[in-house]
Amino acid sequence: MTAGAATRLRVLVVHNSVPDDAPAAERDVLEQVAVVADACRELNFACDTMSCDLDLRPLLARVEAYRPDVVFSLVESLAGRDQLAWLIPGLLETIGVPCTGSASGPLNLSNDKLRTKERLKLAGLPTPAWYTREDLQRDAARKSFQSGPFILKAISEHASLGLDDTALVHAESATDLLGRLQQQTERLQKPCFAEQFIAGREFNLSVLAAEAQPQVLPAAEIDFSKFPADKPRIIGYAAKWDEGSFEFDHTPRMFSFPPADKPLLDWLGSLARSCWQVLELAGWVRVDFRVDEQGQPWILEVNTNPCLSPDAGFAAAVQQAGLSLTQSVERIICTALPIAATRAELPNASKRQVGQVQATLRSEVTAADEEHVREIVAATGMFRANEVDVAAELVRVRLRDGQSSGYEFLFAEQAGQVLGYACYGQNTVTLASYDLYWIAVRPELQGRGIGQQLLQAVEASIAAAGGQQIYIETSNRPDYAATRRFYERCGYALEAVLRDYYAAGDDKAVFVRRTGYSSK
């Protein structure tokens, strides 16, 4: 290769081996491989694919020979066991190769429904009550047992394995439920548990990684309106995989909701984001909910690395968000890379900016920017109404007082649309310290380099003005973990934590970065 010539980002797509006679649920991964490979070609990324099984030596050899910048893992199971999928990111973590999706620990946790429910419950998130066989054999459970409907699920299997109408049972006693649970365990030849069945509406919320905060995609509701009154309203195996079945043909997704549903949809979005933070997820995720007749949401399952096939729920949510599958694949890949390894900086970087937004930056403030700021900050879903008002008020102060206000702005624009913005200024009681007050990007455009472009421009402006350090303040709550990681990846170090600053249990984290400028 000619010295100085750019090479392309190298992606290795890895998936589990699929037998020729595999059922549709297992063959689906091959369609996902095609989706990722096609996206890489469109993005001008170099791409290779391989299958793997429990013998990981061929994977190690391919990684050594191909030297990918990132491995895109579509491994759903190894040796027919979903709970072993975590071995792939685990192996790659030990040899220092970036891998898409959640890390090995969170992936291992998410493949165990009981451990996931325990973690959610510990975090105060709503998940239906459940029983294991061991629970039902204890005297305490027998005495406190309340009769009702239960759904019998495999503990460590996805794709709704074993879920059909017979999985929904009504048990009058712990002994009755124990017998049903043992029958289901024997039928599936898999360990099972019994979960309280929540009658009501069913929703799926997909979450996609972004630069700072994960983007919650538009909610989808399952339409059961065509189901007979006596048929269980559940999404089972047939609804997902048995084309031509009643369930497959009569469980469409709905993305249109009346205005009265907005508080519920916001609640679901907040819970989905909390699942992401509490379980320390990454890449792409789908959270399944039921909403009872009182309007209370319940978290059923958290699906890491959900199906990327064009007809799957994640792809439908991506489309509703105004993104393409290619853009989503790019987001998943780029957020898996170290922050220094952006496509503009990687030794193996593609110079083609497909999907990567190259915004124009503007420092002049106009009257229209007050509404732009209000809209962008509110859309992130991370700030209270009074905080949104404060962000918008700073625009008015700048328009009224000009440079003497102490507030400087940068707006990222493309084709006349404001995509994101930053607000910063010198701390007036210091000689060379600056504060970054706000930085926000439209959720549907996060993960496409806009936030980093704004932050780098702010840093350059501050350095040019003689600023020596930049301070950023943010919440230390778990749901701000992604924001803090974004700052850390951009070179900011945690300087201090002020306990209970915003509210009881809501600490303020202060980050700092030196500009490298010296007045000496």
pLDDT of residue 158: 66
Average pLDDT over residues 427-438: 93
Q: What is the per-residue pLDDT across 70-113, written as a single tens digit (0 to 9) for each?
A: 999 999 888 888 888 999 999 999 888 999 999 998 999 888 99
**Element spanning 290, H or E:** strand 284-291
pLDDT of residue 83: 80
Average pLDDT over residues 472-486: 82
pLDDT of residue 1: 28
pLDDT of residue 476: 85
How far apart CA 389 and CA 393 sit, in angstroms, is 6
Question: Sorting pLDDT into bands at 50, 70 and 90, what band is 482?
Answer: confident
Average pLDDT over residues 402-409: 95
Residue 344 predicted with pLDDT over 50: no
How far apart CA 459 and CA 307 sit, in angstroms, is 39
Question: Sorting pLDDT into bands at 50, 70 and 90, what band is 167?
Answer: confident
Percent of the chain clearing pLDDT 90 (strictly above): 56
pLDDT of residue 157: 72
Among all chains, which residue has been given the structure tokens 């269980």?
232
Average pLDDT over residues 476-483: 76
Among all chains, which residue has been given the structure tokens 């303020």?
508
Instruction: Give SS3 for 122.
Output: helix
Question: Sorting pLDDT into bands at 50, 70 and 90, what band is 324?
Answer: very high
Task: Check: CB of residue 453 under 8 Å from CB of residue 439.
Answer: no
Q: What is the per-residue pLDDT across 263-299, written as a single tens digit (0 to 9) for each?
A: 999 999 999 999 998 999 999 999 999 999 999 999 9
Q: Which two tokens stand for residue 167?
A: 């999985």
Residue 326 predicted with pLDDT over 60: yes
Task: Check: CB of residue 411 under 8 Å from CB of residue 418.
Answer: yes
Burial label for 245, CB within 10 Å (0-12, 13-18, 19+), is middle
Residue 2 predicted with pLDDT over 70: no
How far apart CA 183 and CA 215 sit, in angstroms, is 41
pLDDT of residue 330: 93
Average pLDDT over residues 302-331: 93
Task: Break the chain into its structural domains and give their ranges.
Answer: 10-109, 360-514
pLDDT of residue 397: 97
Q: Which amino acid is at 161?
A: L
Question: Sorting pLDDT into bands at 50, 70 and 90, what band is 162?
Answer: low
pLDDT of residue 143: 81
Residue 464 predicted with pLDDT over 90: no
Secondary-structure class of domain 360-514 per CATH: alpha beta
Residue 350 predicted with pLDDT over 50: no
pLDDT of residue 347: 37
Task: Check: CB of residue 63 under 8 Å from CB of residue 95.
Answer: yes
Question: Sorting pLDDT into bands at 50, 70 and 90, what band is 509?
Answer: very high
Is this prediction's pTM over 0.85?
A: no
Q: What is the per-residue pLDDT across 211-265, written as a single tens digit (0 to 9) for each?
A: 778 899 999 999 988 888 888 888 877 777 677 788 778 788 999 999 999 999 9
Average pLDDT over residues 123-133: 93
Instruction: Give SS3 for 299.
Output: strand
Residue 362: strand pairing partners = 411
Domain 10-109 has CATH 3.40.50.20: yes
Alpha helices of 189-261 — where are they, by DSSP H? Answer: 237-241, 246-249
Which among 24, 23, 32 has a CA at the least distance from the CA of 307?
Answer: 32
Average pLDDT over residues 476-500: 84
Query: Residue 438 CA to chain centroid, in angstroms?
Result: 23
How far apart CA 271 and CA 263 sit, in angstroms, is 12
Question: Sorting pLDDT into bands at 50, 70 and 90, what band is 163?
Answer: confident
How far apart CA 278 and CA 275 sit, in angstroms, is 5
How far apart CA 322 and CA 446 sit, in angstroms, is 12
3-state secondary structure 56-121: CHHHHHHHHHHCCCEEEEECCCECCEHHHCCHHHHHHHHHCCCECCCCHHHHHHHCCHHHHHHHHH
Which among 267, 306, 261 has a CA at the least distance from the CA of 289?
Answer: 267
Mean pLDDT (the chain, rounded): 87
Residue with the larger pLDDT of the pair 250 and 461:
461
Lowest mean pLDDT among 116-130, 226-240, 315-329: 226-240
**Element spanning 52, H or E:** strand 46-52
Lowest mean pLDDT among 57-61, 247-251, 279-283, 350-354: 350-354
Q: Which two tokens stand for residue 312?
A: 């799957």
